[in-house]
Amino acid sequence: MGSSLVEKLSIINRLGFFNSFTADEKRQVASEDSHFQVYDPGTVVIRKGSSDQSLLIILSGSVAVAEGTGDAVLAILKAGEVLGEMAFLTETRRTAQVIAREPVIALKLDRLMFEKFPAPIREKFKDQIIMKLVTRLDMANRELTRYRGTGNGGSPAETPGPFRVPAAGAAESELATGRDLIRKIVSNTTSLPAMPAVMLKVQQMLRSPATSPAQLAKVIETDAAMVTDILKLANSAFFGFRGKVSTVQHASSLLGTRRLAELITAISAGSVLGSAMRGYNLKSGDMWRHSIAVAVTASEIAGAMSSEAVETAYMAGLLHDVGKIILDPYVRERKVLFDHYLETHPGKCIQDAERDLLGFDHAVIASILCDNWSLPRAISFAIRHHHQPASAGDHQLAHIIHYADILVIQAGLAGSGGYAPPELDPRSRSMVSLDPDTLQHSVEKALQYMDGLKGRLFAP
């Protein structure tokens, strides 16, 4: 780095790290040109496993420390922090991968350079390194305490922990938990997906009671793949018209407005629900299949109960887990924490981990998205409470979605890969109060429906 001694001194003078250094000692540290290294954003500052053992002090900018390439971020270190002390002190290989997040200037000292400093300077460096390690240990302890739930008694939503990882694609350099994180997700409009265009059109048409099945059919007539799916499903065992339906207009007259709208909505939801979610261990299509199965089961249950919710059950079931799509990058970045939490808390499910580690669960985010999409309030309310239906009081739809979700998971179509299944809330059992055969029949109908959509839902 070609900066003058004065410029280097002005950087060093700004950092608390050098407070105990005398003016002369600071000058000695700043004098060697080769000590100062500049890193462009995205470049590797320390490569995991490498044998380099230099010590770095970040003078400006910040770096992300990760266990390995593409792994969860362990820490963000900023100006004044020490880096590479582990290999430097223990003479071992680098334990982590460190990447510059913005232009970084660092003071880089190899062992030879370090040994050249007079003893008092070396001691001051060592004192600072110890202080930084103590702070890091304290942070790690507090974070561990917080996410084990034995913390200071405040709710996680109100007491964001010290653990910080970079925001998923966001410009802000640090990620919060609880309300801060919700605020950030909601204010970052690009992180909230738009309602798929066809779904939006159908929702708009349904607002008019005069909309006919034939008008709805027109929405999809130019989408050949969608037409094929609708015809397949119309001819499936679920509807019982086996082999008789050959045009969308014919299907629309047989299915009626509500059924046709549901079908179009389920298929168009694939663009939002169909992608893989590594944070939740879901392969592409897993979430979509689970969601359609819950939609059909919920609507069958609502029908069997002669519930008023029969109109909204399908949509609420289809979108009940949509919050996972938004949270997936944030869960992915905390994968190490999530996996550790779930390993050490047998019986806890993924939404418990979300609540304890993020301060809220995917149901909260899903309900925010539903409000954002201007869906009926009953839908967002039921989705908001589908994992804790007792908090929804007597709201029938919340209990129906909760019950349908659990039945579908029990039938083998989970909404999160490899985690403990949620337990049925006894209040939902008494609210739904259907006999086991009827409930079983609801899930079987859902599986028939899925069978009708086989090609689309199980495409590689």
The upper half-sphere exposure of residue 25, i.e. CA atoms within 13 Å in the direction of its Cβ, equals: 15
Residue 133 CB, nearest distance to ligand CMP (Å)? Answer: 9
**Residue number with CB closer to ligand CMP (53 or 307):** 53
Q: Is 321 in the site for ligand CMP (CB under 6 A)?
A: no
**Residue number with CB closer to ligand CMP (7 or 138):** 138
Handedness of CA 352, 358, 362, 365 (dihedral sign): positive
Residue 15 CB, nearest distance to ligand CMP (Å)? Answer: 17
DSSP string, 369-437: HHHHTT--HHHHHHHHTTTSGGGGTT-HHHHHHHHHHHHHHHTT--SSTTSPPPPPPHHHHHHH---HH
Residue 79 CB, nearest distance to ligand CMP (Å)? Answer: 15
Residue 451 CB, nearest distance to ligand CMP (Å)? Answer: 49
Q: Which of 324, 451, 349 is nearest to 409 (CA)?
A: 349
Q: Is 337 in the site for ligand CMP (CB under 6 A)?
A: no
Member of 26, 27, 78, 136 binding ligand CMP (CB under 6 A): 136
Handedness of CA 90, 94, 96, 100 (dihedral sign): positive
Distance CA 69, CA 65 (A): 10
> Which residues inside 366-385 make contact with ligand CMP, applying CB under 6 A?
none
> Which residues inside 89-128 make contact with ligand CMP, applying CB under 6 A?
94-96, 98
Structure tokens at 132: 């930084």
CA distances from 40 to 49, 78, 102, 332 (A): 21, 15, 7, 25
Sequence length of the chain is 460
> Which residues inside 405-424 make contact with ligand CMP, applying CB under 6 A?
none
The set of residues, in sequence order, having a beta carbon less than 8 Å from that of 83 and lying 6+ positions away, is 45, 46, 55, 56, 57, 58, 63, 65, 77, 98, 106
Q: Is 336 in the site for ligand CMP (CB under 6 A)?
A: no
Stretch that binds ligand CMP, among 86-94, 212-220, 307-315, 449-457 (CB under 6 A): 86-94
Distance CA 397, CA 402 (A): 8
**Residue number with CB closer to ligand CMP (49 or 393):** 49
> Which residues inside 54-83 make contact with ligand CMP, applying CB under 6 A?
65, 74-75, 83
Site string for ligand CMP, 21-40 (x = CB under 6 A): --------------------
Distance CA 96, CA 45 (A): 10
Residue 65 CB, nearest distance to ligand CMP (Å)? Answer: 4
Residue 390 CB, nearest distance to ligand CMP (Å)? Answer: 39
**Which contiguous run of DSSP H or E holds residue 239?**
none
Q: Is 87 in the site for ligand CMP (CB under 6 A)?
A: yes
Residue 355 CB, nearest distance to ligand CMP (Å)? Answer: 24
Distance CA 427, CA 399 (A): 8
Q: Is 133 in the site for ligand CMP (CB under 6 A)?
A: no
Q: Is 84 in the site for ligand CMP (CB under 6 A)?
A: yes
Instruction: Tell me the residue ranges of DSSP E strands in 223-302.
Output: none
Q: Is 46 in the site for ligand CMP (CB under 6 A)?
A: yes
Instruction: Summarize as ranges the residues that interact with ligand CMP (CB under 6 A).
Output: 46, 65, 74-75, 83-87, 94-96, 98, 136
